Amino acid sequence: MRLVGPNGEQVGIVAINDALRLAQEADLDLVEVAPTARPPVAKLMDYGKFKYESALKARESRKHQAQTVIKEIKLRPKIDPHDYGTKKGHVERFLRQGDKVKVTIMFRGREQSRPDLGYRLLQRLASDVEELGFVESAPKQDGRNMIMVIGPHKRKPDSKAERPAAPSRAERPAAPSEAERPAAPARAERPAAPAAAAAPRPAPRASAPSGPAGRPVPSPRGPRPAASPQQVAAAGSAEHNPADAQTGS
C-alpha cells in the first residue's frame, strides 16, 4: 500500500506489516483513506483527534447555513378579490421572512378543462410580489393541481434587520455644568410669628399630709384660749343638774 505520513509527506509503497510497525512506533493509527486506489492509500494519524476536528468543522458549517422553509398557499381559479388580497398578504409576509412559497391552484370538476385560468392567476400573483421574490419554479400541472414556487430575493429578512446603533458618548449631549444650571428661585422668608405672652401659671396646690393608712392629718392649730371662771362654773353645774341646764336653755 501507499503510505502517507502524519504531516502529509509521502513515505512510499510499503508492506502492510511495515506500515503497522511504523504506526506503533509513532503511537498513531493506520487509517485507509483511499481503498479503491491501486495500490490503496493509508495515512498515519490520530484518528480520535481527526474525528473531533471533523465534528467541529461540521458544526461551524451548519451555523452559516441558511435554513429555508417552504410555505404553501392554496388558491382556487375563481377566487374572490378580497380572498386573493388576503392570500397575497400571506405570500408577502413569508417572502419578507426569507421563506419560499409554494402556490397551489386546486381545480375541481369542470375547472380541470380550463387550466389557463390557474396559469393567469399564478402569473398575476408573481407580478404582484416581484419586488419581494422571483419565480423559482414555473407553473406546471400536477394532476388536479397547478404548482408554482416563489423564492425570496437574496437579502436579510425584516425580522432580523439590524437595529439602529445607539449614539456614542461623544454624540450624546453633555449634561449642563453647575455654573450653567439656572438657580432655583429663593423662597420668600416668612415673618416670624409673634411670641405669645407667657400666661402666669397657677401655683401648685400643697398636698395635705397624710397619716397612717392614708388618712389625712388635721392641720395643726394654735393653742386654745383658757376658759374663764364663770364658764367653768357653768359647765360644772350643767353636769350635776342636767334638767336645769335644759330649762335654762
Q: Which residues have CB under 8 Å from 207's CB, separation 6+?
A: none
Q: Which residue has the cell 404553501?
A: 72
Cα separation, 51 vs 53, in Å, equals 6
pLDDT in tens, 41-74: 999 889 888 899 999 988 888 877 767 788 999 9
Cα separation, 211 vs 216, in Å, equals 6
Taken in order of first residue, the domains within the chain and their CATH numbers are: 2-62 (3.10.20.80), 70-157 (3.30.110.10)
pLDDT in tens, 169-223: 555 655 555 556 666 555 655 655 555 444 556 555 655 555 555 555 555 555 5
Integer-rounded Cα radius of gyration of the chain: 60
Cα separation, 239 vs 56, in Å, equals 141
pTM for this one?
A: 0.40
Helix 81-96 and helix 115-128, axial crossing angle in degrees, nearest 10: 50
pLDDT in tens, 135-156: 998 999 988 999 999 999 876 5
Nearest in space to 129 (alpha carbons), one of 80, 83, 76, 93: 93
Which band of pLDDT confidence, cut at 50, 70 and 90, is reported for residue 159? very low
